[in-house]
């Protein structure tokens, strides 16, 4: 049994069989065989080794011709490795003595060697582990005979383990087949983490290097509540987790019963809980969880993975479908294009050479330089506004000038629509995201120019602490509970109050039960989050008085480190709601 | 080692160390002498089988490292000079 700690990003507990993606990329069908079948298994093993050697030679030939002999020689080395008598002997022993399947025995053996090599800690030779994985993959593919993307061809339920998953790989996971996933890289607010929450797949990320210690087919427990994964648990641990799994299920069920109740403190202060969505189909999740509307409709999906920009009518359809699904009386806040450096985008080609993309041309900066693209989106949003309570929001505004430019272009577009006689809501509320520290510091001035603020804590934390949220090495710096972040949030809330405009928090922070009392106590009455988090946050709000929340906020603001803040909030949250999962 | 074991020390001069390609050439050469036992030892470490890629990979012979080649069995002399030659040839290439 081995325990690894990472960052919990999607709650729930899952127990299942490991599927390692990327390195072996092949799902191991079973781990053990009937002892009587050992000879058959060894025959299969020898055939696979022969085929793998043939592959290596074919590769050598092909690479010789393509790149030259010195590169082809690498595959000659692979062939020699596969033919190493020590290697096959070691694997045979696992099959005959431990009744491992050929696949599992290969995986275990190659990983053991890779780990031993990595432990030598010689950067010069570190690529050799990659050679071993390559060989492992080749042998396994002959044993299993399973080509293609393993995530698309799952042969049975699995726990997916990977160095990293892209947001789109995550989005395409089938929750019925993928019980959970765990990755070496990634942070709390990465898009992969966000997608896991949306799909309700328990997930732990930022585990650091651990794939070498795991073989495909190992039994894995993923504890998405605590950020722990357990490899080959002992009997007692497995029992304990089976119980936890059932408990989590019933708590989640009770939360669902809160759906139609308001998010109201015991002394009658009402909060508005909104959903963050990315795809129009997610508006259904908002309804299911009793959201009061959509507080953040991300529009990037329209622009991704394509070679042309989405046209006006395509966008209009997407926006209108959400407005119709949510209903005419509930707000739908549509955020204009917010593509960052971490997202692929054909338009960004011209900015590819940016040394520091997250501080480069992104979001409104990109839009203000591509007016055709920007105006097309604004037209589509304005046209959708006559079907309900549509609001428009600009992301990543850093200065007052930028905000004014955005508003000016919006005014232009309105005028155009007016001239063309196209219907739209002339009084469409305009908001700005506050996610750059400069905007937070200038919040009082900004508040005079807009109808609402939405505090994007993910970026605000990243920019305030200068810590990349997806870099596991600095993940510890990235904390919503950092006093610097809390002071900025407090400042923005106060600025909104002086101008009497609405303010909302739409980052991951608002869906984290740890911060619910704090945010309420600081004066927030609107929170927008992944719809799945709404019941839990509602449960907390319904368990406290506003006075209690204010005391918690005052106390929390007194601490001078994120650790103290978070420890205090953890204590307070557990006091109010012992069954809630706080990290 | 028995009396008829032949030994020679080689110094790794290549900046890449004793890496995959020369290692493969070495194993291939060693296997041409099926009757011979070939071991490779880095000073202070356990001797490893010179016919096993996997074992050689664990050597981590970086530039400047000295490795001791030991060959015994029929044709040991020929084998040793072939192996030393492989070593030099491969490192000369780069």
In a mutational test of the B interface, the residue from A57, A72, A80, A87 whose CB has the highest number of chain B CBs within 10 Å is A80
Please report the beta strands in A313-414, taking only residues with DSSP state E, as ranges in sequence order.
331-335, 389-394
Q: How far, in Å, CA of A32 to CA of A46, rounded? A: 18
Q: Where are the domains of chain B?
A: 6-92
Higher pLDDT, A179 or A341: A179
Report whether A138 contacts A56 (CB < 8 A): yes
What residues contact residue A201 under an 8 Å CB cut-off, 6+ apart? Answer: A10, A12, A173, A175, A178, A179, A180, A181
- Mutation site for B-interface testing, chosen from A63, A83, A125 by largest number of B Cβ within 10 Å: A125
ipTM for the whole complex:
0.84
Residue from A55, A265, A24, A39 nearest A161 by CA: A24
**Which residues in chain B have their CB less than 8 angstroms from residue A124's CB?**
16-17, 19, 62
Structure token digits, residue A442: 């200038």
**CATH code of the domain made up of A35-144:** 1.10.274.10
CB count within 10 Å of CB A516 equals: 35
Q: Give tens-digit pLDDT for A22-67.
A: 644 566 767 788 888 899 999 999 999 999 999 889 888 887 887 7
Which residue does chain A place closest to B52, by CA atoms? Answer: A84
How confident is residue A340, by pLDDT bands cut at 50, 70 and 90?
low
pLDDT in tens, A531-559: 888 988 999 999 999 999 999 999 999 99
pLDDT at A210 over 50: yes
Comparing A356 with A139, the larger pLDDT belongs to A139
Q: Which fold has domain B6-92?
A: 3.30.1340
**Of the given ranges (A26-35, A212-221, A393-402, A519-528), which has the lowest mean pLDDT?**
A26-35
Beta-sheet strands, E only, within A239-311: 263-264, 270-277, 294-297
Q: How far apart are CA A369 and CA A406, in angstroms?
A: 11
Burial-class residue A307 by CB neighbours within 10 Å (0-12, 13-18, 19+): exposed
Q: How far apart are CA A492 and CA A447, in angstroms?
A: 9
CA A225 vs. chain centroid, Å, equals: 15
Q: What does the alpha-carbon distance between residue A522 and residue A574 come to, in Å, rounded to a whole number? A: 20
Choice among A78, A191, A285, A387 that is catalytic = A191
Q: Number of CB pairs < 8 Å for A and B? A: 52
More confident position, A464 or A246: A464
Average confidence (pLDDT) over A411-437: 97
Looking at residue A505, the DSSP 8-state letter turns out to be: E
Closest-CA residue of chain B to A129: B57
A506 is catalytic: yes
A299-338: pLDDT as tens digits: 988 887 667 788 999 999 999 999 999 999 999 999 999 9
How far apart CA B24 and CA A441 sit, in angstroms, is 63
DSSP 3-state of A548: helix
DSSP codes joined into one string, A215-229: -TT-EEEEETTTTEE
| pLDDT above 90 coverage of chain A, percent | 55
Average pLDDT, chain A: 88
User: Which of A71-85, A231-245, A334-348 has the highest mean predicted lDDT (pLDDT)?
Assistant: A231-245
What band does B54 get if pLDDT is binned at 50, 70 and 90?
confident
Rg (CA), chain A: 27
Mean pLDDT of B72-81: 91
What pLDDT score does A350 carry? 66
Q: Which residue of B has its CA nearest to A131?
A: B20
For residue A302, the model assigns a pLDDT of 86
Check whether A212 has a pLDDT greater than 90.
no
**DSSP string for residues in A133-184:** HHHHHHHHHHHH---S-TTTS-SS-EEEEES---HHHHHT--TTTEEEEEES
Q: What is the CATH number of domain A2-24+150-251?
A: 3.50.30.10
Strand arrangement of the beta sheet that strand B6-11 belongs to: B6-11, B66-72, B37-42, B48-49
Give the torsion sign (CA, A462, A466, A471, A476): negative
pLDDT tens, residue by residue, A251-295: 677 777 788 899 999 999 999 999 999 888 788 888 888 999 999
Looking at A152-156, A326-330, A448-452, which range is the least confident one? A152-156
Q: Would residue A504 show up in a list of annotated catalytic residues for this protein?
A: no
Domain A258-576 bears CATH identifier 3.20.20.60: yes
Whole-number Cα distances in Å, A527 to A8, A237, A270, A397, B62 = 21, 37, 12, 20, 58
For residue A73, the model assigns a pLDDT of 80
Please list every residue in chain A whose beta carbon sits closer than 8 Å to the beta carbon of residue B37: none
């Amino acid at each position: 049994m081995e325990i690894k700690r990472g960052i919990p990003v999607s709650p729930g507990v899952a127990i299942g069989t490991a599927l390692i993606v990327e390195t072996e990329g092949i799902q191991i069908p079973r781990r053990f065989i009937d002892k009587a079948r050992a000879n058959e298994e060894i025959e299969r093993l020898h055939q696979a080794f022969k085929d793998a050697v043939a592959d290596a030679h074919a590769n050598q030939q092909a690479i010789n011709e393509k790149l030259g002999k010195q590169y082809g020689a690498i595959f000659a080395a692979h062939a020699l490795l596969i033919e190493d008598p020590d290697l096959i002997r070691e694997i045979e022993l696992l099959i005959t003595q431990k009744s491992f399947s050929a696949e599992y025995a290969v995986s275990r053996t190659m990983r053991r060697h890779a780990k031993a090599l990595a432990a030598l800690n010689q950067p010069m030779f570190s690529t050799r582990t990659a050679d071993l994985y390559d060989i492992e993959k080749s042998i396994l593919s002959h044993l299993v005979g399973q080509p293609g993307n393993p995530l698309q061809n799952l042969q049975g339920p699995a726990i997916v383990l990977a160095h990293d998953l892209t947001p789109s790989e995550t989005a395409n996971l089938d929750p019925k087949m993928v019980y959970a996933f765990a990755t070496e890289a990634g942070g709390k607010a990465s898009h992969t983490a966000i997608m896991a929450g949306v799909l309700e797949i328990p997930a732990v990320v930022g585990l650091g290097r651990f794939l070498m210690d795991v073989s495909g087919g190992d039994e894995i427990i993923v504890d998405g509540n605590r950020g722990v994964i357990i490899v080959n648990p002992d009997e007692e641990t497995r029992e304990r987790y089976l119980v936890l799994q059932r408990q989590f299920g019933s708590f989640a069920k009770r939360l669902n019963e809160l759906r139609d109740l308001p998010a109201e403190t015991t002394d009658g202060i009402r909060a508005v809980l909104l959903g963050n969505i990315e795809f129009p189909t997610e508006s259904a999740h908002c309804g299911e969880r009793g959201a009061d509307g959509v507080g953040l409709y991300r529009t990037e999906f329209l622009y991704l993975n394509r070679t042309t920009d989405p046209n006006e009518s395509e966008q209009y359809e997407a926006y209108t479908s959400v407005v119709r699904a949510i209903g005419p009386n509930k707000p739908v806040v549509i955020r204009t294009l917010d593509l960052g450096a971490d997202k692929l985008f054909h338009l960004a080609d011209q900015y590819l050479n940016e040394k520091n993309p997250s501080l480069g041309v992104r979001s409104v900066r990109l839009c203000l330089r591509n007016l055709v693209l920007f105006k097309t989106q604004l037209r589509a949003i304005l046209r959708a506004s006559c079907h309900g309570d549509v609001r428009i929001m600009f992301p990543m505004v850093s200065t007052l000038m930028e905000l004014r430019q955005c508003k000016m272009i919006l005014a232009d577009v309105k005028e155009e629509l007016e001239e063309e006689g196209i219907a739209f809501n002339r009084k469409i509320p305009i908001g700005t995201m506050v996610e750059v520290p400069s905007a937070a510091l200038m919040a009082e001035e900004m508040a005079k120019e807009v109808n609402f603020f939405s505090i994007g804590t993910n970026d605000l934390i990243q920019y305030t602490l200068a810590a990349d949220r997806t870099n596991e090495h600095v993940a510890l710096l990235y904390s919503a509970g950092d006093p610097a972040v809390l002071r900025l949030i407090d400042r923005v809330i106060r600025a909104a109050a002086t101008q009497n405009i609405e303010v909302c928090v739409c980052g991951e922070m608002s869906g984290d039960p740890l911060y619910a009392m704090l945010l309420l106590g600081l004066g927030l009455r609107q929170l927008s989050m992944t719809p799945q988090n709404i019941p839990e946050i509602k449960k907390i709000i319904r368990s406290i008085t506003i006075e209690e929340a204010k005391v918690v906020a005052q106390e929390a603001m007194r601490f001078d480190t994120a650790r103290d803040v978070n420890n205090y909030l953890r204590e307070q949250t557990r006091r109010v709601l012992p069954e809630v999962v706080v990290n | 080692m028995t009396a008829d074991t032949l030994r020679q020390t080689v110094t790794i001069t290549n900046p890449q160390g004793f890496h995959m390609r020369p290692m493969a050439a070495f194993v291939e050469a060693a296997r041409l002498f099926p009757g011979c036992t070939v071991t490779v030892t880095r000073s202070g470490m356990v001797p490893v089988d010179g016919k096993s890629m996997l074992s050689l990979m664990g050597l981590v012979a970086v530039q400047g490292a000295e490795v001791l080649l030991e060959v015994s069995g029929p044709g040991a002399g020929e084998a040793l000079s072939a192996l030393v030659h492989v070593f030099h040839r491969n490192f000369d290439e780069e």
